[in-house]
Structure 1
Amino acid sequence: MVDDSTKNVCLLKSTLKQEGYRVTVTDSDSEALIKIVESPPDLVLLDTFTPSIDGYEITRQIKQNSHLPFIPVLLVTNCDESSFIQGLQAGADDFLIKPVEQNELLVKVRSLLRLKHSINHRDIITQQWCEDFVINMTHDLRTPLTSVIQMLKMLKKGTFGDNLSEMQEYLQQITESNQTLLDMVENILDVYQYEAGNKELEFFPVDLRELSQKVVQELKPLAIVKNLTLTTTFNSQQSSLLTVRGDRIELYRLLINLVGNAIRFTDSGSVEIQLHRHHQYVTIAVKDTGIGISESEQVGLFERFRQGKHQRRGNGLGLYLSLQIVEAHQGNISVASTLGEGSIFTVYLPLQRKP
C-alpha cells in the first residue's frame, strides 16, 4: 500500500488485516518501487496522489518492468473521468473511488488476487508445456538423426560391401545434412535450457591455450578443404596465465561456434584465434579474412534466429547461443567487421567470477 494519508492507511490496512492479508505500507514512492522489485507483492494498492512521482507513474514503471511477474495494481482515486483514462493508459487493473467503501475494497482485492492466481497458474502450465515440448521434440529428432549418421558412416566404410563406391559423394552430402540437423537440435535444446534457467554449468580452471589448440586440431580439416590457414596465437610469456574458471564443455562449444562460422564465411586467407591476458580478464579474438559483415547486419547480430542475408547463413542460433554461454561466464562478446575484409569476434572473460 502506497499512501501518505494516515487516515486512509489506518482504514484500509485494518480492513485488509481483518481478512487475513499481510500489508506493507509506505508513503515513499521511491521506497515503494525498491520494495516491489526486491520482493514482488501479490497486489499493489496505490493512491494516485503521492508525494514525489504520482501513482500513475509508479503504475507505469511496475507494468513496464519485464523482470517483474504480473502484479495487479488497484488505484485509489477521485471520481474523475480523466483519472480513469490516465490510470488505464498507465496499466492500472482496477479503481477504488474515494472515500473507499470497505466492502468494495474487499471485493476488488479478492477479484484481482484471483486474476493473479489464474495468470500465475497459466504461466506455470505454459512453461511446463514448452519444456516438455522442447525436450520431447529434441529427443525424437536426435535419435533417428544419430542412427542415420552412424548408418551412413558404415556405408562409406564399406561395412555392407564395396559396391557403393560411386555413391560416396552423395553419402557425404547426406551425412553433412544430417549432422547439420543434429547440431540444430542440440542448439535448440541448449538455447531453451539457458532461457529457462535450467542450464547447469560446472566451473573449474580451464586452460584456454590448450582448449583453443584442441579446437584448431578438430576444425583444421574444414580449413584445409578451403585452403585456409587455421592457427592459434598467444604471447609465450603469458601462456601459463591464460586460465579462467569456466565450464570447459560450454567454452569449447563457444570456440567451435565462432571458429566454425569464421571458416564458413572465409574463402581465402586465414582464421586465427588470438589469446591475450589482461589485468582482470582474458580476451579470445577469432579473426578471419572472410566476406565481412555490413554495419546494418551487425545490428542485432546476436539475436535469436538472426540468420543474415548471405546464402551461407546458418540457422540463426549459433551466435545467440554463444552470447548465452559468454553471459553465463559473466563475460562479454563483441564484433568488429568490414564488408569484404573480414571480421573479429572478441570474447572477454573475467579472471575472477563474482559470487
Structure 2
Amino acid sequence: MLNKNLLTFSAFLHDILNPITGAKIILRQLIDGSYGHTLEDIKPVLEAILQTNDRVSYLVENQRNQISDNFILSINQASIRKFNLCNFLQTLHFEYSPLAKCHSLKLHYETHTPLTHGAEVIADTVSLGRMLSNLIQNAIKYTDRGHVFLRLLNQGDDLVIEIEDTGRGIESEELPNIFLPFYRAHTQSFGSGLGLYVAMMIAKAHGLQLLVDSSVGQGTKFTIIFPYRVNHPYGLNGKILSKDEPKNNALLKQCQALE
C-alpha cells in the first residue's frame, strides 16, 4: 500500500517546483530587458512573480502545518472565494507565457464569448491554480513544437476549461493510467508522475470533471467541466464552506440563499 505521507510530501515537492521554475525564467527575461526598462513596463511582470510567490508560500505553510490527504485534495476553507474565472485564466496565461516562449512555443488564451451564465465560480483559488498550473506546465513540457491553447467556453450550460497542445500525445492504452500516482506515460520521459494525480484529486474535491483526449504525434487535450446548477455559481456549493471560518460567512449565506 502506498505510504500516504510519502505521497503527500512528493506532491508538495512537485508543486513548488512548477512556480519556482516559471518565476526563474521570468526573472532572467527581466534582467535581459525582454519586458522593457521602466517600472510601468515591468509592473505586470512583477505582479505575476508576486502571485507565484504567494502560491509557493501557501504550499509551504500548508505542508508545515498539515500532512494529510486534505493537502492533496486541497480544499482549504481560508482560500475559498467567489471570483471571475476569465480573469483568473488571464493571469495564468500571463504567468506561463514566458515558460512557453523559453520552449519556442506560443501559449494562447481564448474566451469563447458570450458565456451563457457568466464566468463567476466558487473555488479554492490556490488549489484551482495548482491544478491548472500542473496541466499548463505539462502541456508546455511535452510539446516539442507548435502551440498550447488555454480556453474558456460553454458546453451546453456547463462552463469548461480546455488545455490543448500540439505535443507528443499519449498512447490510448496508457490513458486509463495517467491519473494514477507516480505513473508516467512512455512519451513522458521525465517528471515525478504526480501532477495529473494531484489535478484529478483537486477536480474531484471541487465536484468537477477532468477528462483527457490524446493522439500520439498530434497532441493532448484536457477538459475541466464546471457543472451548471440553476441559480447558483459554478464550482463549490455552500455545504462545503465552514460556518466557523469568518471569511466565508457572507459567501455561505449567499450560497444558502440560492439553494
TM-score range, shorter chain: 0.5 to 0.7
Kindly provide the amino acid, as one letter, of the partner of residue 325 in structure 1.
I
Q: Distance in 1 between matches of 2:191 and 2:131?
A: 15
Match of residue 300, structure 1, among 157, 163, 177: 177
Match of 2:118 in 1: 241
Q: Distance in 2 between matches of 1:255 and 1:293?
A: 19
Q: Encode CA deviations 1:244-263: one digit per residue, 9 max, x unaligned.
A: 11111111111111110000
Does the CA contact (< 8 Å) of 1:206 and 1:245 recur in 2?
A: yes
Match of residue 162, structure 2, among 285, 290, 307: 285
Match of residue 226, structure 1, among 103, 114, 120: 103
CA shift in 2, pair 1:134/1:266, >3 Å = closer
Larger Rg: 1
Q: Distance in 1 between matches of 2:206 and 2:139?
A: 22
Q: Does 1:266 align with 2:143?
A: yes
RMSD of aligned Cα (Å): 3.7
Aligned to 1:236, what secondary structure does the other structure show?
A: coil
Normalising to structure 1: TM-score of the pair?
A: 0.45
Match of 2:255 in 1: none
CA shift in 2, pair 1:204/1:305, >3 Å = same
Q: Distance in 2 between matches of 1:191 and 1:306?
A: 22
Q: CA offset at residue 318 of structure 1? A: 0.5
Q: Does 1:256 align with 2:172?
A: no
CA shift in 2, pair 1:340/1:305, >3 Å = same
Match of residue 210, structure 1, among 66, 87, 97: 87
Q: CA offset at residue 285 of structure 1? A: 0.7
Match of 1:324 in 2: 201
Match of 2:69 in 1: 193
Match of residue 187, structure 2, among 285, 303, 310: 310
Q: Distance in 2 between matches of 1:307 and 1:216?
A: 26
Kindly provide the amino acid, as one letter, of the partner of residue 185 in structure 2.
G
Kindly provide the amino acid, as one letter, of the partner of residue 318 in structure 1.
G
CA shift in 2, pair 1:209/1:191, >3 Å = farther
Match of 1:78 in 2: none
Match of 2:43 in 1: none
Q: Distance in 2 between matches of 1:291 and 1:348?
A: 24
- Give unmatched runs, 5+ long, in structure 1: 1-125, 158-181
Q: Does 1:347 align with 2:224?
A: yes
Kindly provide the amino acid, as one letter, of the partner of residue 250 in structure 1.
S
Kindly provide the amino acid, as one letter, of the partner of residue 164 in structure 2.
K
Q: Distance in 1 between matches of 2:72 and 2:151?
A: 33
Q: CA offset at residue 207 of structure 1? A: 1.5
Normalising to structure 2: TM-score of the pair?
A: 0.61
Q: Distance in 2 between matches of 1:199 and 1:193?
A: 10
Q: Encode CA deviations 1:68-124: one digit per residue, 9 max, x unaligned.
A: xxxxxxxxxxxxxxxxxxxxxxxxxxxxxxxxxxxxxxxxxxxxxxxxxxxxxxxxx
Kindly provide the amino acid, as one letter, of the partner of residue 312 in structure 1.
S
Q: Distance in 2 between matches of 1:208 and 1:340?
A: 31
Does the CA contact (< 8 Å) of 1:242 and 1:276 recur in 2?
A: no
Q: CA offset at residue 287 of structure 1? A: 0.6
Q: CA offset at residue 284 of structure 1? A: 0.6
Q: Distance in 2 between matches of 1:251 and 1:221?
A: 21
Match of 1:334 in 2: 211
Q: Distance in 2 between matches of 1:196 and 1:227?
A: 32
Q: Encode CA deviations 1:17-52: one digit per residue, 9 max, x unaligned.
A: xxxxxxxxxxxxxxxxxxxxxxxxxxxxxxxxxxxx
Q: Pick 1 or 2: higher relative contact order, CA cutoff 8 A, min separation 6.
A: 2
Matches within 5 A, 1:96-111: none
Provide the identity percentage. 26
Q: CA offset at residue 193 of structure 1? A: 3.3
- Give unmatched runs, 5+ long, in structure 2: 32-55, 230-235, 240-259
Of the structure 1 ranges 323-332 and 277-286, higher mean CA displacement relative to structure 2 is found in 277-286
Does the CA contact (< 8 Å) of 2:154 and 2:160 recur in 1?
A: yes
Q: Distance in 2 between matches of 1:302 and 1:335?
A: 10
Q: Distance in 2 between matches of 1:192 and 1:334?
A: 26
Q: Distance in 1 between matches of 2:73 and 2:198?
A: 14
Does the CA contact (< 8 Å) of 1:209 and 1:239 recur in 2?
A: no
Does the CA contact (< 8 Å) of 2:170 and 2:187 recur in 1?
A: no
Q: Distance in 2 between matches of 1:206 and 1:198?
A: 18
Q: Distance in 2 between matches of 1:198 and 1:269?
A: 33
Does the CA contact (< 8 Å) of 1:205 and 1:244 recur in 2?
A: yes
Q: How many equivalent pairs are there?
A: 187
Q: CA offset at residue 308 of structure 1? A: 2.1
Q: CA offset at residue 281 of structure 1? A: 2.5
Q: CA offset at residue 310 of structure 1? A: 3.4
